[in-house]
Structure 1
């Protein structure tokens, strides 16, 4: 039965309890509890390949059948229609669909129309175009506005997907490997932008990342996953330790602080399977 949608709260925390999901009867995420995600915060999901990170993100986005509870303020999201769910949560997959015959600007306007608020003044074509241009400029790709999506590089397409997600101004933004196709300069620009907008909008941002150093620098909280289970949560200092890196990634590593106070993660060697399991 479809749940009833409550009014959207602007300062609601996201609480996940007993979440379970999988594919074709095979469990991937089995009854996990996540730390409370609060407005204005950026959190990163870390873990090796096949840890369940993307599956967990799709369940939070309402794109993957799940049981348990995903509550945004007073609203239970599990059971909402996809349209109502999308008003609160925006999901950015790893790649944009191929073969889309739209310009960059048209694709961002399309994403904006899909999240129409019903406010006539806000949803006029002129107002929508102004918002689309503003987000393209902030992402740093306004010069690509009239380019076709099919003519862009992988990194440029990833930035367009980010613009499509941000223009919708969601309460919860889910980003699945948002910097995987970007060079170092654009990786840092994207991380800074997401961090700034989370603070400005009171938005909850949750990202899947593979770069531990970037996650440690830009995240308020870390969730470390392995084989569909939560291994560690907390601040970067609490969650990214030599012990958790050995357990999750099977590596011998040192976690230290640089002169500016940032975490520095140095991997020295690969552990044997029995050492990692211990």
Structure 2
């Protein structure tokens, strides 16, 4: 049984500049979606990269009782998958080939033949809703389409922990909804732990089991959406006067009235 992801005293930065400072969080549980929110330059992307083993860091990152800090990157990659904000440019593959390449780079149990790998890739593209793009070259896709392909690549590897850096930033409203619903469904079905960087606080509140609010590399608030997203935390972190209201379906709405008083 999964004991979740434990993050204790995590710190990282670039050269001599500290970016993330002593981050400690409550246990992130399997099957849960956790949103990482905060203003620009708060350290959100840097924290995700550290949790993926891609950024040198100190502290402790424990998954199901196994300490990941200090382990080779290959050990991290078998458990934790990271989706960056954008796909690399200049890759001359079609969409299906790119998902197959991601699977070959991090092999999964049970996919022992080229045909099985290809079928799994097709199944993932269908689940994400982009099977019609399978034969399209990555270089010919829009920004939103590239984000969906990147999501398919990481989902195909069926990780224990899925880290998504602004996965809906280039998507229209329908596809934002589709992606967030899919992420929540897969977290529940596969008992994954998902941490996602989002800027839209109402979307974060709707789809998240937990919220982590960062400012200047430190955790300012964490907990359920109702516990973390408050007028006080929004004033402190974002510098705004805000109201929290709920629609007739019980969904949180964040209303900004003015800048916070200095």
- SS in structure 1 at match of 2:115: helix
Shift of 1:100: 0.1
Q: What do the CA deviations read for 1:44-76 (whole angstroms, capped 9, x no partner)?
A: 000000001011000000000000000001211
Q: Decide which of 13, 17, 20 is 1:22's aligned counterpart.
A: 13
Q: Decide which of 231, 236, 240 is 1:242's aligned counterpart.
A: 231
Q: Decide which of 77, 92, 115 is 1:101's aligned counterpart.
A: 92
For residues 153 and 70 of structure 1, the distance between their equivalents in structure 2, rounded to whole angstroms, comes to 36
**Corresponding residue for 1:170?**
159
For residues 257 and 157 of structure 1, the distance between their equivalents in structure 2, rounded to whole angstroms, comes to 34
Q: What do the CA deviations read for 1:216-265 (whole angstroms, capped 9, x no partner)?
A: 00000000000111000000011011111111100111001111111111
Alignment of 1:1-278 (within 5 A): 11-117=2-108, 119=109, 121-272=110-261, 274=262
- SS in structure 1 at match of 2:41: coil
- SS in structure 1 at match of 2:234: helix
Shift of 1:29: 1.0
TM-score (norm. length: structure 1): 0.93
For residues 228 and 153 of structure 1, the distance between their equivalents in structure 2, rounded to whole angstroms, comes to 32
Unaligned runs of at least 5 residues, structure 2: none
For residues 54 and 234 of structure 2, the distance between their equivalents in structure 1, rounded to whole angstroms, comes to 30
User: What is the number of equivalent residue pairs in this alignment?
Assistant: 262
Q: Which runs of 4+ in 1 moved over 4 A?
A: none
Q: What do the CA deviations read for 1:75-124 (whole angstroms, capped 9, x no partner)?
A: 1111111111100000000000000000000000011111213x4x5221
For residues 208 and 43 of structure 1, the distance between their equivalents in structure 2, rounded to whole angstroms, comes to 9
For residues 185 and 17 of structure 1, the distance between their equivalents in structure 2, rounded to whole angstroms, comes to 37
- SS in structure 1 at match of 2:135: coil
**Corresponding residue for 1:5?**
none
Unaligned runs of at least 5 residues, structure 1: 1-9
